[in-house]
Amino acid sequence: MRVTPRLTPAIVILLIALFGTQLPQTTVRAEVPEGFTSLFNGKDLTGWKGLVGNPKTRRAMSADELAAAQKTADDDMREHWSVVDGVLQFDGKGKSLCTDKDYGDVELYVDWKILEGGDSGIYLRGSPQLQIWDTEFPDYFRHGAENGSGALWNNKNNARFPLLKADKPVGEWNTFYIRMVGELVTVKLNGQLVVDEVVMENLWERNLPIYARDQIELQNHGNTLYFRNLYAREIPASEANALLAQRENADAYASIFNGTDFSGWTGDVENYEVVDGAIACKAGKGGTLFTEKEYSDFIARLEFKLPPGGNNGLAIRYAGEGQPHIEGLELQVLDSEDPKYAQLDPRQYHGSVYGLVPAHRGYLRPTGEWNFQQVTVRGSNIKVELNGTTILDADLSQVTESKDGALPPGVKRKSGRFGFAGHNDPVAFRNISIRELPGEPAEPPARDNAISPTDGPIKLFNGRNFEGFYTWIKDLKYADWNKIFTVEDGMIHVSGDGYGGLITNQEYRDYHLIIEFKWGEKTWGNRVDRARDSGILLHCWGPNGGYSNTWMASIEAQIIEGGVGDILVLSGTDPITGQVLPTSLTTEITKDRDGEKVWKKGGERITLSSGRINWFGRDEDWADKIGFRGKDDVESPFGEWTRMEVIADGGHLLYKVNGVVVNEAFEAKPNFGKILLQTEQAEMFVRRFELWPIGKAPAD
């Protein structure tokens, strides 16, 4: 949580920098914000050191090896990093500059400046990276630089580009505000939110979460760099816990403990007590305390505090009798680093599904401090997040044995009680709440922030790069390693090698969309001999992968050989929580020979939350085969450009293909959202992709 600084004249200068007003290009020294410490004294390199390897390789070194390597790195660092007029300056010829202190949960302010072609970044916990680069440098477009600085560029499974581009021109000072709690990173660039609680992945060891603590690094890629006004504040555990408790629909959680007595609880009640608003197992006592209510799929949030050597457990889907790890599931709550537990099976340490699946270690707070834990249970999947870091994410249906041999019967339970499995230690729990899944259908956010074109067009595709877009590909998620979407000769080239989409960062409403496309030769995979297929998804909302684990909940303007202009209603499901993402519309139809719904102006009026409405002239003998063309198709022949338009006016949708109105719908819900260009195993080219004010689109 940001601490409000004293409003001295010096700090006013810092606030101006944070909120984006351009500053003179002279050195600015500001008073350290309240609660922060300065990482750079403005005079010399005190507090900094040279780069030695990475967290993995450093941990593998002996103390003597590390000391020798550090001396060499420090000598090299002083050759290339210097202080000039109160500014840290790098000459572009050495390695990164590193803090001589490690940090865990932290807030940072960093001013930075690059020159033309600059490429840099800030490593958190010794790991790459918050990207910094020249966002107008064409050579970097293939890496996504046009999307802006500040994002977690090395991510694969989580967002890797910023929400928006907030960079100032090269040669001007920019200001980062950075907050990291657990593995979750939030970034403001020049006062604008560009990263919102995104998981930072561990590039050095992809199978592990990000390290709990490590150094901060100012990275380089052989360019002259400048840094100033670097401030840090370590976030205390109590504040980190409060931040974690407020994320992701906090109001959907219901407290299951009133803080005063055991109303709603049963089991070995006599072995537990309420102390300062927390449930505590009595010293020398044990047994299971559990809820009277049963839970099936849910997310639980709680805080717990361990004494030295403390041992307890979370009972999940417990039958109400017998041992929790046999007649249900038990998640270990354990002081894993106490020497007396050194020889345990890996499946017995904190966060593990007892005897079944091991959790990652090293993320507990010191004994005597409150930890925050979130547990998601859905079907056979279970996920454990400790102090903001995912330490376990497993599908129990893939587990074939326990540490004791055969799987216990509790693995197959679909519901049961939630509680605590005491083992004679005074382990305490508080702020215990549960969100039952899937819960009520989700509500789309307000459309107030959605953008509508006014005076002229919004060119979604600028002809140069993918500024304003990100990709999400099934199985690959945020990393388009296969370059399915590229820019060639001023056009979007969709190779088609996969399923997914090119998605706008922004949401849009009330527009006249124009897209011009043509098919390429190549088809792929299970559609190699099928009709070439793609589409534009309108009013996209909810999480990526919310429809068929591939796209977003949306309304589709279909692009498929013989079916350009069909409407598809794609209600979705949150891949994590199972919460329904409803989408609906009303239309007028008739039915063709085969009983399929076909748009007919003035026809029977129906409301749909799923399904397809064929365009009015779709061939009744349509076949899913490559090159299909119906007798009345209005789309252009293969190899020629087709112009498709969608007029989205509130809840009214009107589809046109090559100037012909082919489909229509009313009362679309939602009536705004992101826009997604699909890839569905067919090569395609797009030369025009833009939004016009309604009534002002050109007819050409």
Cα dihedral 94, 95, 100, 101, rounded to 10, equals 160
Helix, strand, coil % in the chain, rounded to nearest 5: 10, 45, 45
Q: For residues 613 and 380, give the distance between their C-alpha atoms in angstroms, rounded to a whole number.
A: 36
Closest listed residue to residue 695, CA positions, set 644, 658, 649, 664:
649
Tell me how crowded residue 680 is: count the other CB atoms within 10 A of its CB: 24
**What is residue 699's predicted lDDT score, i.e. its pLDDT?**
86
Beta-carbon contacts of residue 28 (< 8 Å; ≥ 6 apart): 13, 17, 111, 173, 228, 229
Distance CA 287, CA 279 (A): 13
In the numeric block, the tokens 């990275």 are attached to 219
pLDDT at 9: 32
State the chain's mean pLDDT as an integer: 94
Tokens for 348, please give them: 């017995």
Domain ranges of the chain: 9-235, 248-436, 466-692
- Return the pLDDT at 25: 35
User: The dihedral of CA 169, 173, 179, 184: what is its sign?
Assistant: positive
* Residue 140: closest CA among 163, 110, 120: 120
What the block records as the tokens of 603 is 């026809």
Q: Give, in order, the Cα–Cα distances in Å from 668 to each of 94, 509, 513, 648, 649.
A: 57, 12, 16, 9, 10
Q: What are 663's strand-pairing partners? A: 655
Query: Are 183 and 137 within 8 A, CB to CB?
Result: no
Pairwise pLDDT comparison (524 vs 220), residue with the higher score: 524
Helix (H, G, I), strand (E, B) or coil at 266: strand
Q: How many C-beta atoms surround the C-beta of residue 138 within 10 A?
A: 12
Instruction: Using DSSP bridges, classify how beta strands 106-114 and 597-599 pair: parallel, antiparallel or unpaired.
Output: unpaired
Q: Is the model more confident about 420 or about 12?
A: 420
User: Which among 173, 421, 414, 423 has a CA at the least distance from the CA of 283?
Assistant: 423
pLDDT at residue 4, rounded to an integer? 30
Q: Does domain 248-436 have CATH number 2.60.120.560?
A: yes
Give the containing element (helix H, strand E) for 531.
Answer: none
Q: Name 410's bridge partners.
A: none
Provide the 3-class DSSP secondary structure of residue 647. strand
pLDDT in tens, 288-344: 999 999 999 999 999 999 999 999 999 999 999 999 999 999 999 999 999 999 999
CA torsion sign for 33, 39, 43, 47 is: positive
Band the pLDDT of 572: cuts 50, 70, 90.
very high
pLDDT for 220 equals 86
Matching fold, domains 9-235 and 248-436: yes
Q: How far apart are the first and last CA of the chain?
A: 53
421-443 burial code (b ≥16 CB/10 A, e <16): bbebbbbbbbbbbbbebebeebe
pLDDT at 666: 98
In the block, which residue shows the tokens 């039952």?
436
pLDDT of 55 reads 97
295 vs 247: CA distance, rounded Å: 22
Q: What is the mean predicted confidence (pLDDT) over 631-658?
A: 97
The per-residue pLDDT for 479 is: 87
Q: Can you read off the two tokens belonging to residue 98? A: 């590193």
Under the banding of pLDDT at 50, 70 and 90, the label for residue 5 is very low
In sequence order, the 6+-apart residues with CB closer than 8 A to the CB of 93 are 79, 80, 222
For residue 10, pLDDT beyond 70: no
Residue 563 has pLDDT above 70, yes or no: yes
Which tokens in the block code for residue 510? 């009330």
Query: Do the beta carbons of residue 384 and residue 390 sit within 8 Å?
Result: yes
Residue pair 396/356 in contact (Cβ under 8 Å)? The answer is: yes
The pairing of strands 499-504 and 511-523 is unpaired
CA distance 366 to 363: 9
Lowest mean pLDDT: which of 13-27, 169-183, 563-577? 13-27
Alpha carbon dihedral 404, 409, 412, 413, in 10-degree steps, equals -130
pLDDT at residue 636 tops 70: yes
Q: Check whether 14 has a pLDDT greater than 60.
A: no
Residue-level length of the chain: 700
pTM recorded for the entire structure? 0.92
> Cα–Cα distances in Å, from 527 out to 254, 532, 537?
47, 8, 20
CA distance 83 to 62: 32
Residue 30 pLDDT? 63
Write down the pLDDT at residue 17.
Answer: 37
**DSSP sequence for 164-227:** S--PPPTTS-EEEEEEEETTEEEEEETTEEEEEEEEPB-SS-TTSBPPSSEEEEEEESSS-EEE
pLDDT surpasses 80 at 20: no
- Token readout for 675 is 């826009």
Total Cβ atoms within 10 A of residue 661: 17
Nearest alpha-carbon partner for 390 in 589, 182, 540: 182
Q: Residue 394 in contact with residue 437, Cβ under 8 Å?
A: no
Digit-coded pLDDT (tens) for 111-154: 999 999 999 999 999 999 999 999 999 999 999 999 999 999 99
d(C-alpha 23, C-alpha 349), whole Å: 52
CA atoms within 13 A on the CB side of 175: 21
DSSP 468-525: TEEEEETTTBT--TT--EEEETTEEEE---SEEEEEESS-B-SEEEEEEEEEEEEE-G
pLDDT in tens, 198-234: 999 999 999 999 999 999 999 988 899 999 999 999 9
| DSSP secondary structure, 66-104, as one string | HHHHHHHHHHHHHHHEEEETTEEEE-SSS--EEEEEEES
Nearest one of 691, 693, 673 to 508, comparing CA atoms:
673
Residue 486 β-bridge partners: 493
Backbone angles phi, psi at 674, to 5 degrees: -70, 165
Tell me, which fold does domain 9-235 have in CATH? Jelly Rolls (2.60.120)
**Buried-state track 286-300, b at ≥16 Cβ within 10 A, e below 16:** bbbbbbeebbebbbb
Percentage of the chain with pLDDT > 90? 94
Residue of 579, 578, 599 whose CA lies nearest to 590: 599
At 590-605, the pLDDT tens digits run: 999 999 999 999 999 9
Residue 23's pLDDT is 32
| DSSP conformation class of 125 | T
Q: How far apart are CA 175 and CA 465, in angstroms?
A: 25
| Residue 13 pLDDT > 80 | no
SS3 28: coil
The closest of 534, 512, 554 to 645, measured between CA atoms, is 512
CATH architecture of 466-692: Sandwich (2.60)
